Each structure stands twice: as C-alpha cells, then as structure tokens.
Amino acid sequence: MTEGRSLKINVPMLARVEGEGALDLEIDRGRLAAARLRIFEPPRFFEKLVEGRAAAEMPDLVARICGICPVAYQMSAVHALEAIGSVEPTGWVREMRRLLYCGEWIESHCLHIHLLAAPDFLGFPDAAKMARQYPEAVRRGLRLQHLGNEIIALLGGRSVHPVGTCIGGFHRAPPAAAVSALRGRLHDAVPLAEELVRWTASLALPHARQDFVSVALRHPSEYPLNEGRIVSSDGLDIAIGEYADHFAEQPVAWSTALYSLYHGRPYLVGPLARLNLNLDLLPPQVRRNLARTEVPMPSSNPYHSIVARAVEVHYALLEALRILDDYHLPESPRVATKTRAGVGYGCTEAPRGLLWQRWETDADGHVVGCRIVPPTSQNQARIEEDLRLSLEAAGLDSPAEALRSRAEAVIRNYDPCISCATHFLTLRIRRRGGPQRARPPEALSTAARSAEES
Amino acid sequence: MSAHGRSEALIPQRSARRESRKNGDVRIVGLGSPQGDDRAGWAALAELAAKPLPACLALRSCVTPATDLLAAMTGARKVVLVDAVAGDVAGAILRGDRSALAASRGALSCHGVALDTLLDLAEACRLLPPELAWVAVTIDPAATVGDTLSAPVAAAVPALARAALEEALR
C-alpha cells in the first residue's frame, strides 16, 4: 500500500436545512481512521413534549414531527395507542390507512428521486440544472409526486401535517365523487410509474457490493405498510413488541442522536431493505416491469435504493388503485375508542424505513411516555459504514471538496431528513502523516451531461 | 368600496385587457403552512375569497413545496404568489417580481426548499407562467407556532390581500 497523506477533518453542526448534518473524518496515512456522522433528531424532544397530554391529540401532534412523512408518524402512533385500548379498526379503516400510506410513499419517493438523488447520478449540482436537460423526467416526477399529495389530502384534509387521522380511524370519509376523480388521474399515471422504474434503472449507478443486514416488516400476504412482523436478512423474525430485545439505541460521544444497532452492528432499513425482504409480495405487474431492467433484486448495492424507490412508487400507485376500485362509503369512518392504562407498540414502514414507537398511557388516556425510533437514526450506523467503504473506494487523497461531495451523495442515497439542500454537509477533514498529494476527484456519475434522456 | 373596485379605478386603461382574459387565467397562490404566522398567505386568500372577483381570477392555496406550487401555476398566464417572509418588523407588505425573489434568496422559503429554487425548477420544466409577481408580509420567524396569526400580521392581512389583488389585476 502506498503511503498516503494523513489529516483530520472536523465539521460543525449545519443549519439552513431540515435537520442538521455534520461529519468528522480522520485520515491517517492514507487510511480512514474515523468517520463520524452527526444527525439531529427532532423526535427526541418530542418524546418529552407529549407527556401529560391526551392520547387523542397525538395523531395531529406527531404529524408535525416531519413535513415529508407525517403519515408514517401518525400510523405508528395510532396503531400503538389502539393496541393499548384493544381497539379494532374496521376493514375500511385498514384499507384507507394503506391508501394514505401509498400517497406518502409516492410523494416522498418522487421528491427524493427527482430533486435529491438523480442530480448526483447525472452529474448535476441541483435539480433545476438537471431539469434543463431532462425536463420530461422531472415533469413526470413532479406529476407523480402531486398525485401522492392528492391521496394524502383526500384522507388527511391536506398533504402537509394532515389532520384527517384519529385513533380508531378517520374523522371523515372521502366523498365518492372525489374518489372517482382521483382514481381516474391515478389510472392515467400508471405508465409514468412504469417509465420511472426504467429511467432510474438506466442511470449510471455506481457498482458497489456491500455486506449489510436488511431489516423490514413482513406480512403474510401483502407488501408491508402498516402491519407485519420485523424480519431481517439474517433470519430474524419477531413481533414488533420484541424490537427492544434485538435493537439497542446507544449514545455516541460525537452525536446528539442515538445510534441503533442490531445485535451490536449496523443495519439497513428503507426501500432497498423492504424490497430485499419482500420481493415475492410485489404484484406480478410490478415484478415484470422490474425484471425488464438489468437491476438485480435482492441487491447488495446501496445505490440501487433509487430503483427500489421507483419500484415502490409503481407498487403504491397500483395498490392505491386497487383500494379505490373497491371504495364505498362506510357506516362510520372510525370506531369508538376507550382509554386505559397500558403500553402499546406501533411499527410501520415510513418511506425511509421502519418507524417503531412505544407508547404508554394512564387510565385517563394521558400520555405517560413514548419512545420513537425513526428510520434515519436506525440507518445512521449503516451510513457511517457506507461512508467508510465509499470514501476509501473513491480515494482518500482526493481534495476535501471532492470528498465532501462524495460524502453528501452517499448520505443522500439513504434519503435522511437532512438531505433537503444540495450542500447540507459541513465537512472538516484532518489529515495526518505522509506526503500531501491531491488527485482529481472521481465523479460519482460516469454519465456525461450529454447523455440522452431515455 | 371593494378592493376590486378600487383596483379598477387605479388602472382603468387595463380594463379592456382584463375582459379578454379567460377564466382562471390569472391566479393568486397563497403559500403557507399551519404554523402560526406562516399561514398569512392563506389568510390573505380567505380575505379575497369573501369578495366578488373577476372571472379571470382564480385562488389557489399551497401547502407543500415543489409539486403543489408548480401544479398551481401550470397553465396560468399570470401568477401572484402570496407568502410570509422573515423580517425585522412584522406586518410590513413587500412586493416584487421574479428578479426580486432571486435577490431575496433564502429569505423566502417554501418550508425547506427555497422559493427561488422552486421557480428555477419550474422554469427548467417550462412550467413557469409568462408573468410572475409576489407579495409578502414580514413576520417574526419565532411566531410560527400555534394555530393563529400574531396581532401585527393579522392586522396586515387586509393590506396583503389588497396588494395581491392589485398585482393580479395590474
């Protein structure tokens, strides 16, 4: 091995974005000695704010934890709180909750694919510059995203911080006319979702093979959204109430966020993990469309996450149509609830991965405590592991700016809530030992800007 | 006198052009979120919705960044954006065009995605309307909690609505 430079890079906390990211790199004689990622975790404050408040307030409150995935927080919370009171929602409520989640998956995944991730793979600094050469692709993505927002608004009253969800079901049932109109627009968009899968698969995605454990929900008969057992690619199969027996959060000296580890090691949650563990539960139409690409699934390449997201957009669109094809007005959009002292668990598949919650209430229905483990913090250790592998592969003697750009792209691939801005990461590099030698940065994307839009 | 009548008196020479506009040709888009003074754009829209408006004028409210805004603008000949912007003193009314938006990069934000970035995206996707204007009310960024407007911003909503209507009918 050639003698490389050594330096230490320290990064202060970032502002200006939805969430904050910071990264410390230590490069010692050409090898990465340390890569420490800090992500700010809003739910940690939230867990204290809700103590003493009525459980019935929680659906509206938890929706404000995240502007991109409010439904996920609502769904995990209502399932946990309903478990405490032994509340059994109707089949209609169950289907509408799946529909609501489909809307969020479509909206969140499309935002990530088109505004955040694709520019990395096509060699553009931001989506606006990418859109000048790929206007059709971006318009398609925005149209799909808008449909996701429409689904959320149909049931939630609005697409940001929706207010339609309550413990036991929904405050109101959508009118049949609105359902019919939306159904027509969703139907017309199916070819767009199919094209999206093929487009993401055609991107010049880096070749990588990493060894990681995938963790997701698994349901006996459907691609997981709201229900299922927690399974892993190394054989775990547990009820959601047993989560804490296998996944431990621990503090680390360099981060305000807790790290989640599975049996002491990093793990992956999110679309790629879900697809790796539930490929057989996708409808044949979705599997056929995926098979036409050259992207193998299950995959150990983290950069295939963008394809996994596109596949889930396709699935969510078809699932939404299936539910709306059978739509009828219910006798009541919700069931009665009762307060009780107890503990309940909720675990659903947020767009970014497993969102696990534990809630405890008193006999009057007030929150005694809650614990919320979001997918971004669960992926934090995995992201650090990927950073280590990816930056070493890219070349640690690259200039600091090139390392920062590559690190941002690696992190953005996991779609954490901090990735709302093009340059969200403040990077400090400390190098020590060995000669200083800079080499040209290796581009993440091998696709030139002259690549034809497919 | 309604805001509509007052606007016509201010710009009588443009009334013939207004008559030739199609329904919904001009849109006033209120941007905002449920958080406190950040709902000022919606409040202005509610103010306008209570008044008789010309047929060419349509009102839209946007909750999310990116798609909802771009969808609200698509097909319009002119769009007036109405929003809240951080300022030193709450309640001041600001106006401008696209160039003013670029100059205020970072001050106007659609919830994490800068407004001028969204408009760059719209332009790149050929979704930008031929005419674009914006009006805003200054707010204290700390006043974006709760479900109600602060006193100075609530007092400024009628003026914000009038400014939006004037820009739309200019």
The complex's ipTM works out to 0.71
**In tens digits, what is the pLDDT along chain A, a chain of 454 residues?**
345 667 666 544 332 224 566 778 888 888 888 888 776 654 456 788 889 999 999 999 898 787 778 999 999 999 999 999 999 999 999 999 999 999 999 999 998 899 888 998 999 988 888 999 999 999 999 999 999 999 999 999 888 778 999 999 999 999 999 999 999 999 999 999 999 999 999 999 999 999 999 999 999 999 999 999 999 999 999 999 999 999 998 877 776 667 899 999 999 999 999 999 999 999 999 999 999 998 999 999 999 999 999 999 999 999 999 999 999 999 999 999 988 999 999 999 999 999 999 999 999 999 999 999 989 889 989 999 999 999 988 888 888 888 888 888 888 889 886 533 223 455 666 777 655 444 443 444 433 333 323 3
Looking at residue A436, its pLDDT comes to 47
Looking at residue B22, its pLDDT comes to 66
Q: Which helix (H) or strand (E) holds B96?
A: strand B93-97
Q: Is the pLDDT of residue B119 over 60?
A: yes
Looking at residue B103, its pLDDT comes to 56
Looking at residue B1, its pLDDT comes to 31
Looking at residue B59, its pLDDT comes to 94
DSSP character for A451?
P
Looking at residue B114, its pLDDT comes to 67
Q: Does the distance separating the beta carbons of A131 and B66 come in below 8 Å? A: no
Pick from A426, A430, A440: which is nearest to A17 by CA? A426
Q: Pick from B123, B125, B145 the residue to mutate for testing the A interface (most A CBs within 10 Å).
A: B125
CA distance A30 to chain B (A): 37
Q: Pick from B38, B105, B121, B127 the residue to mutate for testing the A interface (most A CBs within 10 Å).
A: B121
**Domain range list for chain A:** 46-392+412-423
Looking at residue B115, its pLDDT comes to 75
Looking at residue A288, its pLDDT comes to 97
Q: Does the distance separating the beta carbons of B68 and A161 come in below 8 Å? A: no
Question: Looking at per-residue confidence, does A267 or B8 come out higher?
Answer: A267
> What token pair was written down for A182?
């939306």
The reply to whether omega before A70 is within 30° of 0 (cis) is: no
Chain B residues with beta carbon closer than 8 angstroms to that of A18: 111-112
Using CB atoms within 10 Å of the CB of residue B147, give its burial: 0 to 12 exposed, 13 to 18 middle, 19+ buried.
Answer: exposed
Q: Does the distance separating the beta carbons of A160 and B63 come in below 8 Å? A: yes
Q: Does the distance separating the beta carbons of B71 and A160 come in below 8 Å? A: no
Query: How crowded is residue A67: how many other Cβ atoms within 10 Å of its Cβ?
Result: 20
Taking the complete model, does pTM exceed 0.95, yes or no?
Answer: no
Residue A119 · residue A129 · CB < 8 Å: yes
Q: What is the DSSP string of B35-71?
A: SGGGGHHHHHHHHHHTS---TTEEEEEE-SSTHHHHH
Query: How crowded is residue A431: how many other Cβ atoms within 10 Å of its Cβ?
Result: 21
**Which residues fall within 8 angstroms of residue A262, CB to CB, at 6 or more apart?**
A213, A215, A232, A236, A246, A247
Helices A284-291, A176-202: inter-axial angle, 10-degree rounding? 20
Chain A residues with beta carbon closer than 8 angstroms to that of B124: 128-132, 135, 138
Using CB atoms within 10 Å of the CB of residue A288, give its burial: 0 to 12 exposed, 13 to 18 middle, 19+ buried.
Answer: exposed
DSSP character for A356?
E
Q: Does the distance separating the beta carbons of B113 and A67 come in below 8 Å? A: no
Chain B residues with beta carbon closer than 8 angstroms to that of A421: 112
In chain B, what is the straight-line distance between the N-terminal and C-terminal CA atoms, in Å? 18
Mean pLDDT of B93-101: 84
Looking at residue A75, its pLDDT comes to 97
Looking at residue A109, its pLDDT comes to 95
Q: How would residue B102 be classed by pLDDT, with cut points 50, 70 and 90?
A: low
Looking at residue B98, its pLDDT comes to 80
Q: Does A419 touch chain B (CB under 8 A)?
A: no
Q: Is the pLDDT of residue B107 over 60?
A: no
Sheet with B131-139: strands ordered across: B57-62, B26-31, B78-86, B131-139, B93-97
Q: Does A49 touch chain B (CB under 8 A)?
A: no
Q: Would you say domain A46-392+412-423 falls under CATH 1.10.645.10?
A: yes
Q: Does the distance separating the beta carbons of B67 and A146 come in below 8 Å? A: yes
Mean pLDDT of B49-68: 83
Q: Does A69 touch chain B (CB under 8 A)?
A: no
CA–CA–CA angle A352, A356, A359 (5° rounding): 145
Q: Does the distance separating the beta carbons of B112 and A18 come in below 8 Å? A: yes
Q: Does the distance separating the beta carbons of B111 and A67 come in below 8 Å? A: yes
CA distance A104 to A321: 15
CA distance B30 to A60: 23
Residues of B with a Cβ under 8 Å from any A Cβ are 33-34, 63-64, 66-68, 70-71, 106, 111-113, 117, 120-121, 123-127
Q: Does the distance separating the beta carbons of A161 and B125 come in below 8 Å? A: no
Q: Which residue in chain B has the smallest CA separation from A142?
A: B67
CA distances from A228 to A124, A323, A347, B54 (A): 39, 19, 8, 54
CA distance B16 to A167: 55
CA B140 from centre of chain: 18
Sheet with A229-232: strands ordered across: A215-218, A229-232, A237-238
Q: Does the distance separating the beta carbons of A115 and B66 come in below 8 Å? A: yes
**Which residues fall within 8 angstroms of residue A296, CB to CB, at 6 or more apart?**
none
Looking at residue B38, its pLDDT comes to 87
Q: Does A185 touch chain B (CB under 8 A)?
A: no
H-only helix segments in chain B: 3-10, 15-19, 40-49, 67-73, 98-103, 115-124, 151-169
